[in-house]
Structure 1
Amino acid sequence: MTEYESSRTMPAAPEHIFDQVSDVDRLGSWLPEALHVHAEDPPAVTVHEDRTDEDTGALLRARRDQMRLEWGTRDQGSYTGWLQVAGIGSGASEVTVHLSFFDVSHDPGENAVRDALDTSLERLEEQVRQRVENAAG
């Protein structure tokens, strides 16, 4: 099993960030650009990965009471992940993403995963920042 984790501080309350990350229709706005999530019958989703040009059945659960988003492959159990939002005071939050690959063939490699995590968190932070600025302005 290979695991990766990355965190980023964002300028918003946890509830605002969680609203952004848990909206299935807006996942594509911050997830890696090579992943496309299509909602089916929640919590079931299909994830299309451009790298492999494959669709994979997955589960996606939003746990608002815990400010946590959890996901994983449905049938083969080769991949899971979670995103946790935690308030850190003064209107800021820390967002942590954790990925676990149980099947080495599903793992795109450390450099690719770290780049994807960093880019996704940057994109999410930018969207959160714009949303906060628009609400204030």
Structure 2
Amino acid sequence: MSEYERSRTMPALPEHVFDQAGTVGQLDSWMPRGLHVRAEELPAVTVHEDRTGEDEPGLFRAERDQMRLEWGTRDTGDYAGWLQVSGIGSGASEVTVHLSFFDERHDPGADAVADELDRSLERLDELVRLRIDDGGAG
């Protein structure tokens, strides 16, 4: 089993960050490029991976009262992850993403995962900032 974790501070209240991160229709805008999530009857989702052209049954849960997202493979249990948003005062938040690969064949390696996590958090930060700059509209 391999586990990876990254965090980033964002200039927004935790509720705002959580709302941007946890909207199923917006997951493609901050998740790793080439992954597309389609909601079914939640928590069931389908994840399409451009690289392989395959669809994978997955699970996605958003627990707003805990400011936590959880996801993973539905049938195989090969992979799971979570995102936690925490308020750190002064209207800022810390966002932590954690990934677990239970099947080493699905682990792309430490460098690749670290790069994707950093890019995903950067895209989420941009999404949050755009929403703030837009006055929360949209």
The answer to which of 107-116 and 92-101 deviates more is 107-116
Deviation at 1:53, TM superposition (A): 2.3
Alignment match, 1:86: 86
AA partner of residue 22 (structure 2): S
Alpha carbon RMSD of aligned pairs, Å?
1.3
Structure 2 gap segments, 5+ residues each: none
**Does residue 116 of the first structure (1) align with residue 116 of the second (2)?**
yes
* 1:129 and 2:136 are equivalent in the alignment: no
Deviation of 1:133 after TM superposition, in Å, equals: 1.7
CA distance in 2, matches of 1:53, 1:112: 20
1:69 partner letter: L
Runs of 4+ with deviation above 3 angstroms: none
Q: Offset of 1:54 from its aligned partner?
A: 1.7
Percent identity between the two aligned chains: 70
Question: Match for residue 51 of structure 1?
Answer: 51
- Asked whether 1:65 is paired with 2:65, we answer yes
State the shift of 1:34 in Å: 1.5
Partner AA of 2:132 in structure 1: V
TM-superposed deviation, 1:52: 2.5
Q: TM-score, normalised by structure 2?
A: 0.95
| Structure 1: gaps of 5 or more residues | none
SS in 1 for 2:135: helix
TM-score normalised per structure 1 = 0.96
